[in-house]
Structure 1
Amino acid sequence: MNAFKISRRALSVALAAATLCGSAFAGEVEVLHWWTAGGEAKAAQALAATLKAKGHSWKDFAVAGGGGDSAMTVLKSRVVSGNAPAAAQIKGPSLQEWAKEGVLTNLDDVAKAEKWDSLLPGPIANGLKHKGHYIAAPVNVHRVNWLWVNPEAFKKAGAKVPTTWPEFFAAAEALKKAGIVPVAHGGQNWQDFTTFESVALGVGGTEFYKKALVQLDPATLQSAKMKEVLETFKKIKGYTDKNSPGRDWNLTTAMVIRGEAGMQLMGDWAKGEFVAAGKTPGKDFECVAAPGTAKAFTYNVDSFAMFQLKNADNIKAQRDLASTLMSPAFQELFNLNKGSIPVRTGLNLDKFDACAKASAKDFGDTAKSGGLVPSIAHGMAVPSAAQGAIQDVISQFWNSDKATAADTMKKLVSAAKVR
């Protein structure tokens, strides 16, 4: 009898321990991402800690390199083998491509409980849905159409910070005469394309941008306005330096930081370089909308697609992950590290700098006015195959002295049909 009682007691203790373990690690969440450096890595660690605090185990699936290309290669092999992670860093039209494969899960329960529809601007929310159902959770918004300026360089040149393209070229000419590289540009195709989309938005306006670079309308791609866009874009090259080809974007930003160059057209991730160098916005550098785009906002949203799982505990962990990504605490923490702004509206931005506050205001204003548009250069506007083909055409035009706007427009129409 005593032996039996001891056995029962031991069993009770074991069951209690198992219960505690179950509550400590209710489910496992495996997350594929490429946040492997600097502030991004810190944010990933904070996300892992938050999930662990909710009783789940975190399985880090970080794949560095290639701006996500390497990660997507690994993800495809995992999904094909029937071993998908709980979540993967996927954005833009690529979300729809994965959803059509029938491998993503429905997040409407989380989204409805936490009122995502009222917290996210319509264009952003729609991009996270497939056939009206949420399939991904967003973490941030990058503004792409920024112009970064070194005020000391402008002062030396007697130049005015531009708000229009004629003012941009006037400033560039003044900087050139002062012996300063007018425009810092890294000659890589994605940087060419980033510059091009800001020119298209500034010269053509939001409706032109939507028709040409979101809807890929053939008539707009061959219009007189597109010819003006291409010629304005090509004119910028004359104000870049001979070492531009192949240069990484952060090294290009460093030119502006040091005053070797006067300005750079680049997304808000450039701000991280200025801040890391101990520079203060509004004093050591200025962030202004790219010429002609003050009332528009090209967005790049990082998000996590959620894959279908079978284990109930892991599904619960996955739901908690989606909830955490949209939580005010994580939105603040991540974006303070990343240089972007919270995608969730209505948050207190007291801890954010002047550039972020300006970006957040413009994000809200353009969401209401219709000036909020997806970045084609950063995978938010069109399928990846068409994006790559159009990007190649734009870089060919930039790099060739013989390429004409007329021929390039024809090539753009053909590239837009690539699927």
Structure 2
Amino acid sequence: MKTMMKLLLAGVALAGFSIQAHAEDKPTIEILSSWTSGGEAAALNVIKTEFEKRGGVWKDSSIAGFGAADAAFQNRVVAGDPPGAKQGVIGLAAADFVSQGLFNPIDDVAATGKWADVLPKSIQDLISYDGKAYLVPTGAHGESWVFYSKDAFAKAGITEEPKTWDAFFADLDKLKAAGIVPVAWGGQPWQQSKVFNMVLLSQVGIDGFQKIYVEKDKSEASVAGVKKTLEILAKLHTYIDDGAAGRNWNDATAMLITAKAGVQFMGDWAKGEFTVAGKEPGKDYGCMIVPESPGMVYIADSFYFPKTGKAETDKAQKLLAEVVMDPAVQVEFSLKKGSVPARSDVDKTKLDVCAQKGLELMSAGSIVPDQAIVLTPQQVGQLDDFVDEYWSGGTYDAAAAAENFFAIFE
């Protein structure tokens, strides 16, 4: 009996060890992201679900606010304890980490998946450094959108989308007269900078926008365009509510969902909040490009992969890259996140009317890069400070501020 018991216990112990060893063999990864709103979390769950279906173990480390998430990531890198993957935008933000040898390339996955054949050249270039892929794009976002509440517009007697700034401000007056907050304003520096860029594109055009941000052009035409942009911002300030300061973007979107406000300037990720609330584009809310704009500002999200020194994490990073770039995952992720798939070979019939509009602009090349793509993180911070100081200052001397704007690039 004792012998049988020993054998039984040994078998149980061996089975336990086998189960534990099997679990440890699974590709395990910790994901650090700032995607915590309803739509963002739902989109991230699309990737998580597929990753786990393919045998991966997912450890979530979400921190609200990408500024806070970036700071936490940098601290962990300095401490020698980076997560297995970090969510962030494509472009210069990752360049310093790559140049210091802190990220793993995923070029073998990109080559096998023939990413270069299915990604727009601008995105392919921005996920690559020295000819190797380091970032995996989850999707692209248009940032020149004005979302509006259909119920609020109906109550104010607005029957069509305004095509000019004059018509737009006339509609804001109608919303105010109807007792509705005209503009649901997200009062954080990064949000305000995005509105600045939306308006700037409408004033200087695609070539003018590129000259200012890429070529750092300080010509009379560029200065005049910045001045007109600041004048429009000052006028917009008269249509916000007292609770705007510090407001999160998704809280501003909620004001449209409940018809407490008329319009919101925001990237197309706001659609994720409408989706979570059961609202449909074209039926419950509308989407239009900023008045007089020839195209849209865009940004693209991605994951990048720090070196951790752990073989199981290296394996998990490659699995995650494969999952993110799966055509079906790209579509489902975009439907939840409100974005457009980064791949060009996906089933586009599932995309909503707003995404279809964005896709048309991207296909036509009527796009310009968000400042976070073409400027250094330090310059992005300076732009946020510049716009916030002007917006919050109360003096609104557009001419003087326009001259000071170009100090960002010095």
Give TM-score, length-normalised by structure 2: 0.86
In 2, Cα distance between equivalents of 1:167 and 1:196: 19
In 1, Cα distance between equivalents of 2:110 and 2:298: 21
Does structure 1 conserve the Cα–Cα contact (< 8 Å) formed by 2:38 and 2:276? Answer: no
1:79 is aligned, of 77, 80, 83, to 77
Structure 1 residue 21, shift from structure 2 partner: 5.3
2:87 is aligned, of 82, 89, 113, to 89
In 1, Cα distance between equivalents of 2:250 and 2:49: 30
Q: Which residue of 2 aligns with 1:203?
A: 203
Distance 1:23 1:328, change over 3 A: farther
Does structure 2 conserve the Cα–Cα contact (< 8 Å) formed by 1:221 and 1:413? Answer: no
Give the match's secondary structure for 2:267.
Answer: coil
**Residue 359 (structure 2) pairs with residue 360 (structure 1):** yes
Distance 1:45 1:235, change over 3 A: closer
Structure 1 residue 42, shift from structure 2 partner: 4.1
**Residue 101 (structure 2) pairs with residue 106 (structure 1):** no
**Residue 119 (structure 2) pairs with residue 126 (structure 1):** no
Of all paired residues, the percent bearing the same amino acid is 35
Q: Which residue of 2 aligns with 1:268?
A: 268
Cα deviations by residue, 1:13-54 (Å, 9 ceiling, x for unpaired)? x89x96995698343333322334534334444434433443
Structure 1 residue 245, shift from structure 2 partner: 2.6
Give the match's secondary structure for 1:262.
Answer: strand
Deviating 4+ runs (over 6 angstroms): 17-20
Give ranges in structure 2 of 5+ residues lacking alignment. Answer: 1-6
Cα deviations by residue, 1:356-388 (Å, 9 ceiling, x for unpaired)? 2332333323xxx3x222222xx3331111111
Structure 1 residue 130, shift from structure 2 partner: 1.5
**Residue 383 (structure 2) pairs with residue 415 (structure 1):** no
What is the one-letter code of the residue matched to 2:112?
Answer: A
Q: Which residue of 2 aligns with 1:3?
A: none
Report which stretch shifted further, 408-417 or 198-207.
Answer: 408-417
1:373 is aligned, of 365, 368, 373, to 368
Q: Which residue of 1 aligns with 2:298?
A: 299
Q: Which residue of 2 aligns with 1:63?
A: 62
Q: Which residue of 2 aligns with 1:4?
A: none
In 1, Cα distance between equivalents of 2:354 and 2:102: 38
**Residue 260 (structure 2) pairs with residue 277 (structure 1):** no
What is the one-letter code of the residue matched to 2:83?
Answer: P
Q: Which residue of 2 aligns with 1:319?
A: 318
Cα deviations by residue, 1:245-280 (Å, 9 ceiling, x for unpaired)? 333323322333333332221111222333333322
Matches within 5 A, 1:17-416: 25-60=25-60, 62-65=61-64, 67-91=65-89, 92-159=91-158, 160-219=160-219, 223-293=223-293, 295-365=294-364, 369=365, 371-376=366-371, 379-416=372-409
Distance 1:50 1:184, change over 3 A: closer
Give the match's secondary structure for 2:297.
Answer: strand
In 1, Cα distance between equivalents of 2:35 and 2:254: 22
In 2, Cα distance between equivalents of 1:302 and 1:111: 17
In 2, Cα distance between equivalents of 1:101 and 1:243: 43
In 2, Cα distance between equivalents of 1:255 and 1:57: 37
What is the one-letter code of the residue matched to 1:373?
Answer: V
Distance 1:72 1:175, change over 3 A: closer
Does structure 1 conserve the Cα–Cα contact (< 8 Å) formed by 2:139 and 2:341? Answer: yes
What is the one-letter code of the residue matched to 1:35?
Answer: W
In 2, Cα distance between equivalents of 1:261 and 1:52: 40
Cα deviations by residue, 1:296-331 (Å, 9 ceiling, x for unpaired)? 222221111122354545433321211111111221
In 2, Cα distance between equivalents of 1:362 and 1:35: 26
Structure 1 residue 153, shift from structure 2 partner: 3.1
In 2, Cα distance between equivalents of 1:87 and 1:281: 33
Distance 1:403 1:63, change over 3 A: same
Cα deviations by residue, 1:83-103 (Å, 9 ceiling, x for unpaired)? 333321122321112112221
Distance 1:406 1:118, change over 3 A: same
In 2, Cα distance between equivalents of 1:100 and 1:139: 23
Does structure 1 conserve the Cα–Cα contact (< 8 Å) formed by 2:173 and 2:182? Answer: yes
Q: Which residue of 1 aligns with 2:3?
A: none
Does structure 1 conserve the Cα–Cα contact (< 8 Å) formed by 2:144 and 2:266? Answer: yes
Does structure 2 conserve the Cα–Cα contact (< 8 Å) formed by 1:40 and 1:334? Answer: no
Structure 1 residue 287, shift from structure 2 partner: 0.8
Cα deviations by residue, 1:94-142 (Å, 9 ceiling, x for unpaired)? 1112112221122221112111112111111211111232111011222
Cα deviations by residue, 1:194-216 (Å, 9 ceiling, x for unpaired)? 21111001111111112223443
Distance 1:87 1:163, change over 3 A: same
In 1, Cα distance between equivalents of 2:254 and 2:56: 41
Does structure 2 conserve the Cα–Cα contact (< 8 Å) formed by 1:299 and 1:375? Answer: yes
Distance 1:316 1:191, change over 3 A: closer
Distance 1:180 1:96, change over 3 A: same
Does structure 2 conserve the Cα–Cα contact (< 8 Å) formed by 1:106 and 1:133? Answer: yes
Give ranges in structure 1 of 5+ residues lacking alignment. Answer: 1-6
Does structure 2 conserve the Cα–Cα contact (< 8 Å) formed by 1:193 and 1:391? Answer: yes
